[in-house]
Amino acid sequence: MDDKTRTAAGIAAGLQGLGYDDKRLAEIATEVEVLNDAVRKAAAARLTFDDDPAAFASLLAREAK
C-alpha cells in the first residue's frame, strides 16, 4: 500500500468510521488526487497567497454547480 492509499485508509477509518478493501482505497486515493489537483489549479488561477482565507470558500461556492 503506497502513502496516498494509506492516507485514504486513515481518513476513511479515522474521520468517517469506514473500512474499504485495498483495491477500493487505491481507487479513492486516485480520485482524491485528481480532484485535489483540479481544485488547486482552479484556485491558483484566481487566488493569491495573501487573499483572505474566506476567498477560497467563496470561490468554491461560486464555482460549484
The DSSP symbol for 49 reads T
Question: Are 12 and 20 within 8 A, CB to CB?
Answer: yes
Mean pLDDT, residues 12-40:
94
* 65 has a pLDDT exceeding 70: no
Mean pLDDT, residues 18-46:
91
The grid coordinates of residue 45 equal: 488561477
The DSSP symbol for 16 reads T
Domain count, the chain: 1
Residue-number span of the structural domain to which 16 is assigned: 3-63
d(CA 14, CA 12): 6
**pLDDT, tens digit (0-9, with 9 covering 90-100), for 46-63:** 888 899 989 888 888 887
Place of cell 460549484: 64
